[in-house]
Amino acid sequence: MHAYETLYINGKWVPSTGTKSLSVTDATTEEIIATIPEGTAADVDAAVTAARAAFPAWSELPKEDRAAYLTKIGAVLEARTDEIAEAITKELGMPIFLSKMVQVGLPKGNFAVAAQLLGSYKFEEQVGNSLVIREAIGVVGCITPWNYPLHQIALKVAPALAAGNTVVLKPSEVAPINAFILAAAMQEAGLPAGVFNLVTGVGPVVGEAIASHPGIDMVSFTGSTRAGKRVAELASQTVKKVALELGGKSANIILDDADFNKAVADGVGKCFFNSGQTCTALTRMLVPRERLAEAEKIATATAEGFTPGNPFEATTRLGPLISETQRDRVRGFIQQGIDEGATLLTGGTAAPEGLDHGYFVQPTVFSNVTRDMTIAREEIFGPVLSIIPYDTEAEAVEIANDSIYGLAGGVWSGDPERAKRVARQIRAGQVEVNGGSFNIMAPFGGYKQSGIGREAGTFGLEEFLEVKSLQL
């Protein structure tokens, strides 16, 4: 077990003003693998003071110099790929080969994109007799989740720093080791003191202190819709800018002319990736009623190929969930699906065979799910797929949009133009067409209660900029 005893504030590792610590658990073995400081509001205040002091010099630094720092940070992360991937696989449970590609690859990409954008982005433009200037907001508070822990940190921190802001970060307390590695990378890259600050702790203390602090000019939050509402409520008291990336219950419409072998199998994979702990997971599969039996057969066979097990073993395709709380919550949703009359095709509430230790859940598929069922409406955040039959294309679109969420979606059709036409009707921020791959440069964010604002690419950079006009 490793004890992390300090926070990273003003370019130094310093003890918390509090005396308590939090335990970090291995999702596979249920053993405690680390402890971290349980930070306080006073720690946040110290971090904000440091960030405010560092802001003028950092924001006035030539953009080429800021880009150079971001590139250095990315290089340090690259050199520590194995260490980061191993830490996240222990914290979270994602199979190790995927952790290297996704949990480390995406954060490195985010720093590279932020540096690249600085080379071409125009911070000033002439509009009539006005010079329109985009400039840094100030101190940004970043509150991040545990499911893609370093990626979600980098998706905020890299563009915030690129824009000229300084940062106070609160990572998830259940997957924080990667954040300590990032802070060390910042220090190794020579980032000026106070530009990046790390305060660990729990949401009701550190998170709320960040959201409500008058010295923080913007808060960027990724997490549950419930917690996001609380962040927005607290931030409103100082009228600070808020960016929110929240929950999802994304629909995957498979049209009657789609290649079902390809579309259904891909849809199961998109639902089960990271053990279903993905905000964009395609958890509602909408299929034509006349082809329901065909979809059920393919989905069942595909799901049963997602072998649960130790994420450090090469044969494992489905790791554990993050915690006991999550495991019990997901099993509770599976039981609700059974109780409400959905057809259980595979999986269930019992632990996978031979996996009595660790936070494992069986890969589970329900069919004959109706739109009013709990499993069709609530974000489960586990490997649970709901197959919903529909009768017409119009009904499929209606069911897809019958949700408080609007984060992501998917459409499959043998006719690409038909697929795009249906995709345009889905009220969501990002829609895959025939399995279109994730684009690190594309704007990412939600409609409705899935959030406010966009991350990634140019749109993500602009979230961290104010707009000023000089009337000439």
Residue among 384, 400, 367, 399 nearest 292 (CA): 367
Q: What is the DSSP letter of 436?
A: P
In sequence order, which ranges of 131-189 are alpha helices (DSSP H)? 149-162, 177-188
Q: How far is CA 284 from CA 297, 418, 458, in A?
A: 16, 20, 30
Annotated catalytic residue: which of 38, 173, 208, 245? Answer: 245
Partners of residue 222 on adjacent β-strands: 245
Query: Per residue in 235-245, is it b (16+ CB within 10 Å) or e — as a string?
Result: beeeebbbbbb
CB-CB neighbours of 6 under 10 Å: 16
Catalytic residue, chosen from 38, 208, 279, 296, is: 279
Query: Measured between alpha carbons, how far is 411 from 44 in angstroms, rounded to an integer?
Result: 44
Q: Are strands 6-9 and 12-15 parallel, antiparallel or unpaired?
A: antiparallel
* Residue 148, amino acid: Y
Sign of torsion over alpha carbons 208, 210, 215, 221: negative
Cα separations (Å) of 453 from 3, 29, 429, 443, 459?
37, 38, 10, 9, 9
Cβ-count burial of 47 within 10 angstroms (0-12 exposed, 13-18 middle, 19+ buried)?
buried
In sequence order, the 6+-apart residues with CB closer than 8 A to the CB of 394 are none
> Residue 170: which H helix or E strand, with range?
strand 166-170
Q: Tell me, what amino acid is at 224?
A: S
Contact 96, 312 (CB under 8 A): yes
Active-site residue 245, yes or no? Answer: yes
Catalytic residues: 245, 279
